[in-house]
Structure 1
Amino acid sequence: MAGGGAAASALSSPWRALLQRALDANAHLKHSTFFQLATVSGGGRPANRTVVFRGFLEHCDKIQINTDARSNKISEIKEWPLGEICWYFTDSWEQFRISGIIDVIDGSSLDPAKLQVDYVNLKSNQRLMFRRAQEGDESSDWMAEKVSP
């Protein structure tokens, strides 16, 4: 499963560079690879669970996790592909909220994904929102906007 993306260089977006820096700074903590994934379950109820970061899809910004195809999250994503992850790094006090369309990678073709990244650094009291200049256009540049924390 992967969320969001742009085919380009290894660090093609500014939010990915921030995320990679947070991963590197917190690598000594085993729990730094865990994040929460929220999906929409049957009846429109939110479903949230902890998953493990398995890397980025090659040559893009899509975040990968592995899961059993029989799990509830797969049927939820296939029925309603919008989701959000929340990732908090305890040593650096950084939080990433990434929302967008989730792809189930199972051999079928992938559709372009819409993605929004909300970055918060609690130590410096800084918050940035990253969006594509043209939503849905994977070739468009990322725009960062400072937001009041």
Structure 2
Amino acid sequence: MGEIVDTVGWRLILERARDKAVNHNTASFVQLATFDPKLGAQVRTLVFRGFADDGESLLMATDGQSAKLKQVRHDKRSQIVWYLVDARQQFRFSGELVSVGHATRDQVERLALWRSLSYATRSSFFANTLGELEGDVNAKVLSDGAPESFVMLKLVVTEVDHLDLNLNPHQRHRYVRERAHWKIERIGLND
């Protein structure tokens, strides 16, 4: 039987699990699954860049020519799996993946994400299709303005499946968004 919770309990559990990470760089790697109408499920690793202003949506960055953007235009339903090795916790986030490029409305959040990126990451958005930097990109990289190729991805989370492998037997909980609240229920490992 589920209960309604006002706070985002899964986020607190996630933040505690991330705090246990020995290597904080790899603790930011997430696997994003989208759907391609010809190829089926497509999974790739991205870097989690933070939470959106709503405190619940997950942010990532990608290049505007990425195949995942075509897949998202076809079907916004996506999943992210995040396994935190040191904490022995797995989170599976389901929701709609929204792409925010240079011609969309969420520019404040997009530009804030751009400014938070490292120099090396920013410079990758000025590379050609072979990954080679062309010309002097230093001034462009240091600019506060993001290039057209920079796209913010926002997974608007509607469900979280949390698996805790520390406990024996393992425990699994599902958090489901219901209007302004989250419903939490303990579920079996086979559900």
Q: TM-score, normalised by structure 1?
A: 0.80
Q: Deviation per CA, 1:25-83, whole angstroms, max 9, x where unpaired? A: 21534211001000001326100000000011124211000000110011111111001
Alignment check: 8 A CA contact 2:58 2:157 kept: no
The separation in 2 between residues aligned to 1:98 and 1:146, in whole angstroms, is 16
Map 1:120-139 to 2 at 5 A: 120-124=163-167, 125-132=170-177, 134=178, 137=179
Q: How does 1:12-23 map to 2 (within 5 A)?
A: 12-23=7-18
RMSD over aligned Cα atoms: 1.9
Distance (Å, rounded) in 2 between the aligned partners of 1:27 and 1:67 = 26
The one-letter amino acid paired with 1:32 is: A
The structure with the largest alpha-carbon Rg is 2
> Residue 14 of structure 1: CA displacement?
1.0
Match of 1:24 in 2: 19
Deviation of 1:141 (Å)? 1.1
1:115 corresponding residue in structure 2: 158
Q: Does 1:100 align with 2:145?
A: no
Residue 66 (structure 2) pairs with residue 79 (structure 1):
no
Matching residue's letter, 1:146: R
* Identical-pair percentage: 30
Q: Count residues in correspondence.
A: 131
- Whole-Å Cα distance in 2 between the matches of residues 60 and 33 of structure 1? 17
User: Is 2:113 aligned against 1:68?
Assistant: no
* Structure-2 separation of matches of 1:58 and 1:72: 26
Q: Could you tell me which amino acid in structure 2 is paired with residue 141 of structure 1? A: H
- C-alpha displacement of 1:23: 1.4
Larger deviation, residues 21-30 vs 65-74:
21-30
Please state which structure has a larger fraction of its residues in helix.
2
Question: What is the letter of the counterpart of residue 159 of structure 2?
Answer: Q
Cα separation, partners in 2 of 1:114 and 1:31, compared to 1, 3 Å: closer
TM-score (norm: length of structure 2): 0.63
